[in-house]
Structure 1
């Protein structure tokens, strides 16, 4: 049966047309010669949304989930909102035409290629932050980020590919790839664009011989190639989302689909009626969309034939190497690193860390039996190294357990497994795992420390938010530091042991009054590694794999060595003279250990809390531990809840109190926003964090912006069910003066009632007042601190007075609750109680007013007690 001819959608006037999918695949944006931008809803037959009055002759488009960026021949780069379908502003301007735009995976940076010599990389949130790539000798035709956002490939019209590293404030040219692409003028239809494979280890680019050549990122060597598919220059190419398929088009008006594993064409569409200039796979469906030089958009459903469609259903597929490096280094081919993660097998110094090979092995052992990851398609023989069937062993005796050892077989010859508890992995607060070749070692309100893996060594950069107080610095790191702490006094580092040196800690003060540097290094005993480190204004703390807690002064004088009662250690934190340690404790009924914490004052040699439990629910993981700017311990867990330790200076009295549940934030009320939060600090009674979007688990480069949220004790749910009044408010108000009362687009339900909001505020302020009172009771307080505490008590009573008024205003007349509210007032002078009586009288609550008067009399004689008389019949 003849294949049905595809019908193109006339998206724009005849001429070059370009497109981009949003990462979530919900929308498709097209631009062309006219001044209209079209936004298509995926899977909808409705007419697309038109954004008119845009720039004429748009030549490039790139999209994030909530915005997109376009470039035009007049050199203007504009940012548009997908929520309002309107112009957000102009990001940057060029004096010559824009040729292409690429967005970093996190959407924070846009790389702009134009007929100017320099490539501009502009921050999409702050247009004043612009990086310039100036190594090119001629104008640039294409730009493309790798999947981690670490590297930017620049295809220049001189026939060279310039690969930049964006791991530091100043971009660095790390490689010029010569002899791969064709020298093309920037305005021709043929392509020389680099397309990075989704596994992050390689890229492909069109060659002068009309092939697609794959190049390894690690050594820049040529790997497999996709050959003999086109008789004309390649004009567009795209990997499928999982890297298992490659689509290419050319001047010969052919669209070719390739199997990446075999480099063979599985389908050729030779009925393309115009030259394809841009193409993009749908992130999840069997759909390939493309635009041509005739102003048309094609949404090609079921583009992959049914007998090959299963390739799209696989997980991440490896890039086509001649010799698979992961198979050669580990004897078992491993899943390609997601987001460009570096091969862990090359990092023996990190064994036992959260990103160690043991963890990767444990994950790979869970792969499906039905479809092994390794296929000996090139005859190298490595598939047999897994087992006789080319699959991983599935017996319990062969599985890797949590401590890195294999379970023993019984003497009876039958493989029997021993019970292995689920140990909470250690972590360094403020640190992120490797992604690509870099990671953050520390992120806090003072600044940030990151490291870049240069294969033979690392380079470490320390930056500060307040650059007037401290100067940024950068150094070569031959010791491969994997932990860091930063404050206003100095920077602390720790490195793992190697064959050349033991593990040690290194402290570098920001300022010194001596003639020589006061840097110091202290080695740890042989076989001992640092699990976590912390730095305060007074002490340095190191928790080790030997379950020791080692405490030093800021300049290396050891003052305390103690062994943890529970093990293994998980993390530590410190503030002034206080040290908090967390370790694995007894095993619970679910087979997971319970975390225990201890707090001591090093200077006074005083233990405040001793192996008390960290309040975590079943299956919940601890993500961060830190002290606030006021010196109160906080934790942040995997549910997105921030908790503070109340009464922690009193032995056996401490309890964990939730200050914020990020799942209940109003910004998430609509359900359309998907994001998580990376904890940074608690300061000025606010939670400071980094917002993570797109399913990211950790912040990444370029450096993200900090956000902060008010505390909100989770007393009630985010929003109440709709009421009749709320439904009325949803209708558009007829009076312009009522527009402020109209609900926002993000509101699907009514807000909390006034009494509930006041109750939540009172509970929060009571908790903060308690923390403040505990601090003043155990320290030498100043007059201003005591005055602030007294003012907070008055504010608490004012909140109760407002709550009383709200309850009296309520038609239900809950008298006993109103009297309860008055009894919570802290003011013993009688002023607040008198004000409460006046509030009750104002609303005609005479019985309540009398009961409040009785309460005032009892307080005067010291007989304040509960009222047993009912007031509901008032």
Structure 2
């Protein structure tokens, strides 16, 4: 038996279950981890026992390594860094709320990508755990993540079978370059089959496993599949593909399958060179430079296969870097080159500059001879001049007189291809449906508000929709089979609205409304939009149905399907909400200096055909967005932004007078200052003078509610007036005088916040009564609110009087701010001044009261 046919021995390393392994970049070590807490570090070339670490975390699903350390991602959501030399657990790099599924390390060893069951993929700096980037576009959990060799791109394989390609070239947030459906198969997180993207070593292509048990190859020049470059044959794998990896030079490919075979493929011909029988292989890795393949099984065993490539094929493995040129070679999808670096770098999914074909940028080296001849053309051979000595007289663009024309100058359209590197693209806000969540697993919430919840479950061939109400005595829950695959919904006390942007039969977008009560046999109705028009967002009020479409149309229907109004929105649509006769639409507005689009909103009264606010700006910090938009129970527009701030729109019924006022900054909640730092808040509604939300545990700001249905929490409004730190002692040994000062400051801050908040809601209620037929009770309520504001001013006055005579001017100012018409509040202010012995203040208050009675108080009043 020759040496290269010796079967490697199985090394029992871990308990049965998922087993992961990787080489260090220098090829000195193989590191494996599995379902138990043991970690094995094998030294390449040493057949002895590995170094064992027994204090690791159990159930490791992801592994990555540099020459000095390695990282493990576990089922408990933690990502730990370990030192290779000492074997000690170095530090916690990241914590996810859900299990980690895969890790990938960038080529420079600086960035670690973490895929998990969460919707967001995080990229953390290995040396600075506070430096984190986020990949946010996924709609379901991620099974795999991988960097390209240059570290410029990262691929995310989602469990729903969608592949996301991001660019990391920008120093800011990663940019989604391409969303590819069908490049990978749909898998559950626990499946042993793989959907990992495996990048070719030269970065010009990547390979993925298909459900048909073949290997598909995609070019990075245009992110499309190369149809003639598929690793498949009639005698290939008979089971799901569980792992695949390129040889270091890209000339060979190894794949493993559930059929108990490892196959060795030749890249240029896509032929199978060798078969090996090894059962239950789920992970494999090539050595960075040697003829060595390491693989692991679901039995917890590790194999290190020396001389994996037979002698007759070792010449292929010894070639220089094999360039994958499937998208640019005229002779075939796979071509053999001399191993030189690529002449041009691909610029995927970017607009092309003039004169640049296929997104290729000159890399500072001469083009191929074919390219030069092509540039000369058939009839220009006589004008071809060689510049042998590099004097520059053969520059491109010389005219017949040997002089350079103006062809090198920029045209009227803008910069030429030489400025492609400075390409700039603004960032716009993605459209969203208020109250809905993305897919997680096979289910999602279509609507979640104070009336109830609507959720859908993907059943492969169809969906099932469930509607539940909080008040089961008023409305009856219902459940139905959904062949239309509704993707948006609205719910209120009158009915439920559903829409489907892309029905499975390929038909037009569909709108479906189902009233809760009807006095006829059938009250629900369904209608369709014109062909090619999809639905961006919807809203449902007590009077109208609003639909925003991809054509930027605002379509308004009555509750029973009569088209009422259609017009085109001025700015690209983002979302919409409705309340009674009012609708508010939000769109992308002008781009700011930082490259981020602003948000603009418009509010109109549909019934009266009146525009209250037209294309005004939403007060969101640049670079931030919206998490939810809704009307309060009193009919005032509210937003909750990604910073965690709740704002309400004041004076919105008067054109040009609206302004956004913060009601609550959740970052300043007392519960966070008490050590509960790992929670965020998913907004639901503003009602009964409370902020209703769902508390989400974990540090991921993009978390969404999941099943079972979460409980609603509510918080009192607290307009940010001053730092909450003023309310806490800095030293427990403070003397009584400091305690009294702290208590006074606390009281002052509390009353000041209450005063600002009461004034705000008084103003909102006053605006409501001025535009409606106010009842006697409503007018009485307005007067009561005015008295409450005066009472707060009296409490503030008492604090100022307690502080001393030197605070008298501010105390008198507070009395002047009272709206007291009966004189009772001013009498109470005099009694407060008497109680604290502020005689001068008492006299000033009496003078102010007399001037009011005489009607001579004005803006030039100097008494204060």
1:523 aligns with 2:302: no
* Pairing 1:71-86 to 2, within 5 Å after superposition: none
Could you tell me how far 1:717 is from its partner in structure 2?
1.6
CA distance in 2, matches of 1:725, 1:266: 59
Distance of aligned partners of 1:756 and 1:428 in 2 relative to their CA distance in 1, 3 Å threshold: same
Give deviations 1:264-312, integer Å, cap 9, x for gaps.
x99846898xxx999366999969999xxxxxxxx99757987999978
Is the Cα contact below 8 Å between 1:479 and 1:495 reproduced in 2? yes
Deviation at residue 863 of structure 1 after TM alignment: 2.4
Structure 1 CA distance, aligned partners of 2:645 and 2:344?
39
Cα gap change, 1:455 to 1:830, in 2 (>3 Å): same
Listed as ranges, the matches of 1:101-112 within 5 Å are none
1:660 to 656, 661, 664: 664
Structure 1 position 564 matched with structure 2 position 398: no
Of the three residues 467, 470, 473, the one matched with 2:475 is 470
8 Å contact kept, 1:247–1:258? no
Q: 1:316 aligns with which of 89, 114, 117?
A: 114
Q: 1:398 to 1:374 in 2, by over 3 A?
A: closer
Deviation at 1:718, TM superposition (A): 2.0
Moved more, 617-626 or 547-556: 617-626
Check whether the contact 2:443–2:455 (CA below 8 A) recurs between aligned residues. Answer: yes
Shift of 1:539: 0.5
2:220 aligned partner: 386
Q: Residue 240 and residue 755 in structure 1: after superposition, are their counterparts in 2 closer, same or farther (change >3 A)?
A: farther
1:236 and 1:277 in contact (8 A); partners too: no
1:343 matched to 2:161? The reply is yes
Q: Does the CA-based 8 Å contact 2:354-2:417 persist in structure 1?
A: no
Show structure 1 runs of 5+ residues with no match: 1-225, 291-298, 347-355, 731-740, 743-748
- 1:589 and 2:593 are equivalent in the alignment: yes
Cα distance in structure 2, aligned partners of 1:266 and 1:437? 47
Contact kept, 8 Å, 1:534 with 1:541, in 2: the verdict is: yes
Q: Partner of 1:611 in structure 2?
A: 615
TM-aligned CA deviation for residue 640 of structure 1: 0.8
Within 1, Cα distance between the matches of 2:662 and 2:442? 36
Identify the residue that residue 779 of structure 2 maps to in structure 1: 786
Q: What is the deviation of 1:433?
A: 1.6
Structure 2 unmatched runs, 5+: 1-7, 23-29, 64-68, 75-79, 91-102, 106-110, 118-142, 147-151, 165-174, 185-197, 222-321, 328-341, 357-410
Any idea what the Cα deviations from partners look like across 1:715-773, whole Å, max 9, x if unmatched? 1122218667865389xxxxxxxxxx99xxxxxx9995211110111100110111111
- 2:832 and 2:53 map into 1 onto residues whose CA distance is 82
User: 2: distance between equivalents of 1:796 and 1:849?
Assistant: 21
For the pair 1:679 / 2:683, whether they are aligned, the reply is yes
Q: Distance in 2 between matches of 1:462 and 1:381?
A: 43
Partner in structure 1 of residue 285 of structure 2: none
1:716 aligns with 2:725: no
Structure-to-structure mapping, 1:754-773, within 5 angstroms: 754-773=747-766
Whole-Å Cα distance in 1 between the matches of residues 797 and 201 of structure 2? 66
Residues of 2 paired with 1:258 and 1:485: CA distance? 55
Task: Please tell me whether residue 247 in structure 1 is matched to residue 29 in structure 2.
Answer: no
Work out which of the residue numbers 493, 509, 512 in structure 2 matches 1:506: 512
1:798-813 equivalences under 5 Å are 798-811=791-804, 813=806
Tell me if structure 2 keeps the 8 A contact 1:246–1:258. Answer: yes
Deviations 1:185-223 (A, max 9, x none): xxxxxxxxxxxxxxxxxxxxxxxxxxxxxxxxxxxxxxx
Q: 1:811 to 1:374 in 2, by over 3 A?
A: farther
1:279 alignment partner, SS class: coil
- Give yes or no for contact 1:628–1:634 (8 Å, CA) kept in 2: yes
Secondary structure (helix, strand or coil) at the match of 2:472 reads: coil
Rg comparison, structure with higher value: 2
What's the offset of the Cα at 1:420? 3.1
**Shift of residue 607, structure 1, vs aligned partner:** 1.2
Deviation of 1:623 after TM superposition, in Å, equals 2.1
Deviation at residue 587 of structure 1 after TM alignment: 2.0
CA displacement at 1:450 relative to structure 2: 1.5
Matched position secondary structure for 1:753: helix
- Say whether the 8 Å CA contact 1:533–1:541 is kept in structure 2: yes
2: CA distance, partners of 1:316 / 1:390: 28
| Aligned-residue offset at 1:856 | 0.9
Is 1:345–1:357's contact at 8 Å kept on the other side of the alignment?
A: no
How far, CA to CA, are the matches of 2:48 and 2:479 in structure 1?
50
Secondary structure of 2:724's partner?
coil
2:334 alignment counterpart: none
Q: What residue number does 1:795 align with?
A: 788
Work out whether 1:450 is the aligned partner of 2:450: no
Instruction: Please name the residue that 1:425 is paired with.
Output: 430
1:89-128 map, 5 Å = none
Deviations along 1:125-183, one digit per CA (max 9) or x if unpaired, are xxxxxxxxxxxxxxxxxxxxxxxxxxxxxxxxxxxxxxxxxxxxxxxxxxxxxxxxxxx
Residue in 1 aligned with 2:770? Answer: 777
Residue 533 (str. 1) matches residue 543 (str. 2): no
Partner of 2:697: 693
* CA distance, structure 1, for counterparts of residue 346 and residue 568 of structure 2: 34
2:20 is the alignment partner of 1:230: no
For 1:279, the equivalent position in structure 2 comes to 58
Shift of 1:333: 11
Instruction: Report the CA distance between 1:238 and its aligned residue.
Output: 7.5
Q: What's the CA shift for 1:670?
A: 3.8
Q: Decide whether the 8 Å contact of 1:621 with 1:638 is kept in 2.
A: yes
Q: 2:708 aligns with which of 702, 712, 717?
A: 702
Whether contact under 8 Å (2:204, 2:220) holds in the other structure is no
- Aligned with 2:113: secondary structure? coil
Q: Using a 3 Å threshold, how does the CA distance of structure 1 residues 691 and 857 change in structure 2: closer, same or farther?
A: same
Change (3 A) 1:658 1:497: same
Indicate whether 1:628 and 2:632 are aligned.
Answer: yes
Structure 1 length as normaliser, TM-score?
0.59
Change (3 A) 1:555 1:229: farther
* Mapped partners of 1:682, 1:442: distance in 2: 16
Q: Secondary structure at the match of 1:728?
A: coil
Per the alignment, do residues 432 and 400 of structure 1 end up closer, same or farther by CA in structure 2, a change over 3 Å counting?
Answer: farther
Q: In the TM superposition, what whole-angstrom CA distance separates every residue of 1:473-525 from its partner, at most 9, and x where no partner exists?
A: 2222222211111111111111113563101211111122212x222112111
Provide the residue aligned with 1:853 in structure 2.
846
* Cα distance in 1 between the residues matched to 2:671 and 2:324: 49
Q: Encode CA deviations 1:655-685: one digit per residue, 9 max, x unaligned.
A: 1111111111111114552222111100001
Deviation at 1:702, TM superposition (A): 2.2
SS in structure 2 of the partner of residue 720 of structure 1: helix
Distance in 2 of aligned mates of 1:869 and 1:482: 64
Where does residue 556 of structure 2 map in the other structure?
Answer: 551
Residue correspondences, number:
585
From the superposition, tell whether residues 318 and 651 of structure 1 become closer, same or farther in structure 2 (CA, over 3 Å). Answer: closer
TM-score with structure 2 setting the length: 0.59
Mark the CA change 1:301 to 1:612 in structure 2 (over 3 Å): closer, same or farther: closer
Contact 2:598–2:622, Cα closer than 8 Å, also in 1: no
Residue 603 of structure 2 aligns with which residue?
Answer: 599
| CA offset digits 1:380-417 (Å, max 9, x no partner) | 7756733686799998973435xxx6666569665737
Structure 1 position 706, deviation (Å): 0.9
Rounded Cα–Cα distance in structure 1 between residues aligned with 2:497 and 2:468: 14
Q: Structure 1: how far apart are the matches of 2:9 and 2:695?
A: 44
- Spell out, residue by residue over 1:84-118, the C-alpha distance to the aligned partner (whole angstroms, 9 max, x if none): xxxxxxxxxxxxxxxxxxxxxxxxxxxxxxxxxxx
Q: Does 1:815 align with 2:808?
A: yes
